[in-house]
Amino acid sequence: MLRGIHLNPVKPARPVNPARLVNIGICGLGTVASGTINILNRNKSVIDARSGCNITIVQVGARRDNIKCDTSTLNVTRDIFDVINNPDVDIVVELIGGTTVAKELVLKAIANGKHIVTANKALIAHHGDEIFAAAKAKGVTVAFEAAVAGGIPIIKSIREGLAANNIEWLAGIINGTTNFILTEMRDKGRAFDDVLKEAQALGYAEADPTFDVEGIDASHKLVILASLAFGIPLDVKKVFTEGITKISTEDVNYAEELGYRIKHLGIARRSANGIELRVHPTLIPEKRLIANVDGVMNAVLVKGDAVGATLYYGAGAGGEPTGSSVVGDIIDVARTLLAAPEQRVPYLGFQTEFVTEQKHLPMEEIETANYLRMSAADKPGVLSKIATILSDSGISIEAMIQKEAKEGDAIVPLILLTNCVQEKKLMAALSKIETLDSISGSVQRIRVESLK
């Protein structure tokens, strides 16, 4: 010991109070459930220390076993409703997916006084308001961090970390399948259909990939983020949704040539005219950090009036990344079990009704810049006619790529970037352009966002 210095021995961590036993019942035993169980078992000591509770899985409800996790010591039932009727269960973890049985399960669990943790974005997007109302009336908590962007704690960040801010807008790559497809198309010059088959083989896309490639999955996640950001009701019908099935390798390459990358984004923006909710392919300047989020990774960019732009990046899916968010919610719920309901963090971040009704801006009124690709006849005067139509609609050309015709070709690709223009004005102009004899087929259009 150094002379004159007295070192106090480090006190051991206070043991978990046995009276604070928190029992978990898990419904479902798929990828996320197996990841959740593995995390709870592997990290039990740190989870208990952080929650101040003894968190224990007392029952699992699943139709079949999963070799990715060990349930040999657990009470497994083939009837998931046994879990919500088990009087020993404090927190029900719903991981079965879907919106029919899952809704019935969750509402009955709430009626039984159980707290809920779920990773089910479709359930929250379609029935969240009803579920939250039932939970509030019963005095229980509903936690759903894992419903958006897998392992990224984006819900907690908006609801708590950015609580001091008026959120101006957010934009996210919130579907890993579409991001993987667009990344492969850009990096390897592959066609959409070819990459989709690989995504299915790798397990990134389902046998029926509609929810992913048509933007439905992203729209569910966006409506949850928008409700957290702006205090508006959950309403998927308000989201304009467009997928990536019409994106070609040519579009990806031309975007690169213009200094942009194509990403499938969910965008929510609040303006003086109303709230925009839209999911669609978007050209983003290649220097933006979010433009460099590749593969199956997710990222959400949030702009607050005080903090400015903040970016949240990480794994958007997978058993343990998503299970990390599920367990994080379990810990949060366990910490507050003894707190009065009004002292807990509210489901969507607002203790009182902040914005119950606010105009949603119809898509035709939204303004964006645009990428246009058309097949034009290789003859004088064609560009002049197109420019005149655009000019008459108040649309200016910001950049252009005009390729020389190959020998024997009478049609050449013409690529334009426009200024920011109202959707209905652009669509009217495109209708006129498509009637020109010098234009072959329809005009490919992709919206452009600067995200700054």
Instruction: Give the residue numbers annotated as catalytic, written as ranges.
Output: 221
Residues contacting 150, CB < 8 A, separation 6+: 176, 298, 314, 315, 316, 317, 318, 321, 322, 325
For 94-110, b where at least 16 C-beta lie within 10 A, e where not — what string?
A: bbbbeeeebbebbbebb
Place of tokens 């779920």: 118
